[in-house]
Structure 1
């Protein structure tokens, strides 16, 4: 049972790598995605999502 959290973390890491590579995002600076730890991958994914989402930031739809 002690491997259960590790398996979930590795599964999440692989999911994030698959999502980012689907959108042709392969490197963070000089490091490959496969070299990054999970927290860095989470950060890259969140940044990527923020750039893709049409309702975030300047130029988004604002109701007055």
Structure 2
């Protein structure tokens, strides 16, 4: 997969974020999506197909990824 230009991405985090630095930020750009640690915005990121990231977000919203 070709990685899109990072500067074009609009990073966002959950509206439930409390600002304590324990958040993950997401960005989408065409066919790709990315995750990064909000404490380290210039650090590494995970880039995946946008459909994969969309499925991950949907599963998280449904509680399918909650620890039991």
- Higher strand proportion (structure 1 or 2): 2
For the aligned pair, the TM-score class normalised by the smaller chain equals 0.3 to 0.5
Task: Tell me which structure has the larger Cα radius of gyration.
Answer: 1
The TM-score normalised by the length of structure 2 is 0.31
The TM-score normalised by the length of structure 1 is 0.32
